């Protein structure tokens, strides 16, 4: 049974932490707010009646104009390494943790309102979010969830008549982010650098109690906590790499302790494959390039290891970082072989040759600028084991080096013929992990521009398509088409 937003079972567990971790902060409202889009799937997860989001009293709450007595809105304090350098002046600068709710299944979820005005951690900022960035986060997080990738969720976006100055004047917006946790690596950094050991143990105990109660009250509870954070982070980044997703700002304050994709800024999905794809226009050095994400994940975990060093022995921290590498390598290879439909590799029979096939496929795509998503979907819709290269003529015709394509295809075809599963079953499994649709930058940009002109219909259509990314949908050819030429000039930065 679904519940109106105002009647959800709100909780305030975060205030169990020492007050150094937060500052109470009332949201600052928007002028003439209106609902742009809502996620019915996220609402169902929350046990929420999605239709209640259009009620005036709910719009007032989600735009920061009013609050409920059951809430105790606060801004969280944390540190973070930004582009490799420690920044102690961080925290929720434009968002408030309104409250938590308990779902019908007994799960606690944070409700975080982004764009709710300045907080004590705003660093002279206006505390606002704009419609453009709010739509990108909404579409990005909900698309990632539909792809099966661990992520925070977005319930809804509201637009307003509040002017916000960025590179140009834009409209202020709010987004309600829903997450199992907003604890970041940066929270542990703040506790460590505070010099107060009680802050660190209080934070670790809070995380254990809320998220990993099975690890509590054991001699190795903190070491086990670090290990599971390493494991989940590795699994998440492996999934990023397999689907061609670049986060863009992997600062430690954007890393979730639950291994969920967190804080959608200048993210991007691969079009024409580039191993060194940089989706963030502000990342001039390429620190967070696509092919560097696995290494940055380990670097960020090493920062977390330092922060947890007063409560975890060195050997356990080293073991956790090694486990990250092992887990990432295993999960990434498995994910890529699943995309190729090569299941027997799990037994090690074809391990080295299969790894070579994966790397050669990536090289082929890069050298010939083949579209990442379309390449893998194409091979998942053809019985490669019994067909010839002409059945992939569209891919082949896009290649400058036809000989290289034919060589790779021949090796791949031979390998597919060694599979024991029926072709139909194998293709079905491949199509379940090779999407037809991803949130390409030009699709998001088109929807945003229409929304900025007052038409939210394309945001809603695109969201609907992205909810079923593995199924080809009627009258949606343009959502899977190659990007237009103008898309090459799109620049996505951290500006929000």
Does residue 429 carry a pLDDT above 60? yes
Residues sharing a CB contact under 8 Å with residue 110, sequence separation 6 or more, in sequence order: 14, 97, 100, 177, 178, 179, 180, 181, 182
The Cα–Cα gap between 153 and 249 comes to 18
Ranking 124-128, 137-141, 202-206 by mean pLDDT, the lowest is 124-128
Does residue 185 carry a pLDDT above 70? yes
| pLDDT 10s digits, 54-109 | 999 999 999 999 999 999 999 999 999 999 999 999 999 999 999 999 999 999 99
Other beta carbons less than 10 A from residue 425's beta carbon:
12
DSSP character at residue 250: -
Does residue 494 carry a pLDDT above 80? no
pLDDT grade for 491, boundaries at 50, 70 and 90: confident
Task: State residue 351's pLDDT score.
Answer: 83
The Cα–Cα gap between 312 and 333 comes to 30
What does 62-92 look like in DSSP terms, one character per residue? HTTS---TT---EEEEEEEEETTEEEEEEE-
pTM, entire model: 0.96
Q: Where are the domains of the chain?
A: 5-182, 342-379+381-431
Range 237-244 average pLDDT: 98
Task: State residue 19's pLDDT score.
Answer: 97
pLDDT grade for 153, boundaries at 50, 70 and 90: very high
Q: Are 376 and 436 in contact (CB under 8 A)?
A: no
The Cα–Cα gap between 283 and 280 comes to 5
The residue whose two tokens read 């007032």 is 60
The residue whose two tokens read 């299941």 is 343
Does residue 493 carry a pLDDT above 80? no
Task: State residue 390's pLDDT score.
Answer: 62
Ranking 76-85, 180-189, 257-266, 486-495 by mean pLDDT, the lowest is 486-495
Task: State residue 394's pLDDT score.
Answer: 84
Does residue 333 carry a pLDDT above 70? yes
Task: State residue 348's pLDDT score.
Answer: 57
| pLDDT 10s digits, 358-382 | 999 999 999 999 999 999 999 999 8
CB-hemisphere CA count at 13 Å for 253? 20
Does residue 389 carry a pLDDT above 60? no
| pLDDT 10s digits, 2-44 | 899 999 999 999 999 999 999 999 999 999 999 999 999 999 9
Does residue 47 carry a pLDDT above 60? yes
Q: Are 158 and 33 in contact (CB under 8 A)?
A: yes
Does residue 496 carry a pLDDT above 70? no
Six-digit token pair at 234? 């590795």
DSSP character at residue 482: P
The residue whose two tokens read 């791949």 is 412
Question: With the CA atoms of 440, 141, 364 and 445 taken in that order, what torsion angle do they form, in degrees rounded to the nearest 10?
Answer: 10
pLDDT grade for 344, boundaries at 50, 70 and 90: low
Annotated catalytic residues are 253
DSSP character at residue 117: -
DSSP character at residue 400: S
Residues sharing a CB contact under 8 Å with residue 8, sequence separation 6 or more, in sequence order: 46, 47, 48, 101
CB-hemisphere CA count at 13 Å for 50? 13
Does residue 347 carry a pLDDT above 80? no
Other beta carbons less than 10 A from residue 308's beta carbon:
25
């Amino acid at each position: 049974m679904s519940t109106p937003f105002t009647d959800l079972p709100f909780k305030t567990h975060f205030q169990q932490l020492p007050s150094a971790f937060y500052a109470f902060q009332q949201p600052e409202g928007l002028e003439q707010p209106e609902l742009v889009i809502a996620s019915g799937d996220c609402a169902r997860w929350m046990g929420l009646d999605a239709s209640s989001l259009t009620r005036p009293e709910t719009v007032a709450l989600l735009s920061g104009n009013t609050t409920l007595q059951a809430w105790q809105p606060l801004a969280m304090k944390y540190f973070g390494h930004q582009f490799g350098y420690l920044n102690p002046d961080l925290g929720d600068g434009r968002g408030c943790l309104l409250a938590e709710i308990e779902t019908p299944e007994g799960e606690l979820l944070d409700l975080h309102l982004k764009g709710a005005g300045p907080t004590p951690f705003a660093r002279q900022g206006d505390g606002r979010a704009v419609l453009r960035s709010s739509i990108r986060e909404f579409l990005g997080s909900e698309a990632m969830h539909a792809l099966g990738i661990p992520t925070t969720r977005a319930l809804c976006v509201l637009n307003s008549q509040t002017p916000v100055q960025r590179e140009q004047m834009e409209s202020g917006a709010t987004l309600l982010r829903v997450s199992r946790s907003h604890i970041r690596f940066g929270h542990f950094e703040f506790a460590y650098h505070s010099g107060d050991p009680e802050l660190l143990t209080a934070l670790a105990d809070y995380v254990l109690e809320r998220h990993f109660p099975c690890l509590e009250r054991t001699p190795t509870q903190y070491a086990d906590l670090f290990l599971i954070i390493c494991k989940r982070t590795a699994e998440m980044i492996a999934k990023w790499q397999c689907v061609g997703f670049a986060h863009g700002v992997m600062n430690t304050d954007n890393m979730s302790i639950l291994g969920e994709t967190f804080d959608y800024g200048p993210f991007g999905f691969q079009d024409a494959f580039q191993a060194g794809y940089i989706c963030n226009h502000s990342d001039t050095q390429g620190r967070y390039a696509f092919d560097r994400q696995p290494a940055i994940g380990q670097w960020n975990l090493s920062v977390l290891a330092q922060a947890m060093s007063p409560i975890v022995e060195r050997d356990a921290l080293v073991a956790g970082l090694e486990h990250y590498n092992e887990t990432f390598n295993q999960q990434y290879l498995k994910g890529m072989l699943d995309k190729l439909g090569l299941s027997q590799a799990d037994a090690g029979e074809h391990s080295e040759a299969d790894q070579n096939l994966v790397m050669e496929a990536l090289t082929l795509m890069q050298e010939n600028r083949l579209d990442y998503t379309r390449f893998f979907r194409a091979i998942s819709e053809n019985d490669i084991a019994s067909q010839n290269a002409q059945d992939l003529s569209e891919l082949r015709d896009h290649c400058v080096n036809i000989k290289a394509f034919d060589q790779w295809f021949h090796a791949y075809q031979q390998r597919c013929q060694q599979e024991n599963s029926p072709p139909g079953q194998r293709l079905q499994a491949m199509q379940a992990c090779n999407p037809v649709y991803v949130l390409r930058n030009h699709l998001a940009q088109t929807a945003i521009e229409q929304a900025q002109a007052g038409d939210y219909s394309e945001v809603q259509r695109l969201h609907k398509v992205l909810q079923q990314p593995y199924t080809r949908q009627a009258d949606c050819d343009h959502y899977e088409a190659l990007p237009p030429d103008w898309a090459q000039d799109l620049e996505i930065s951290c500006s929000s």
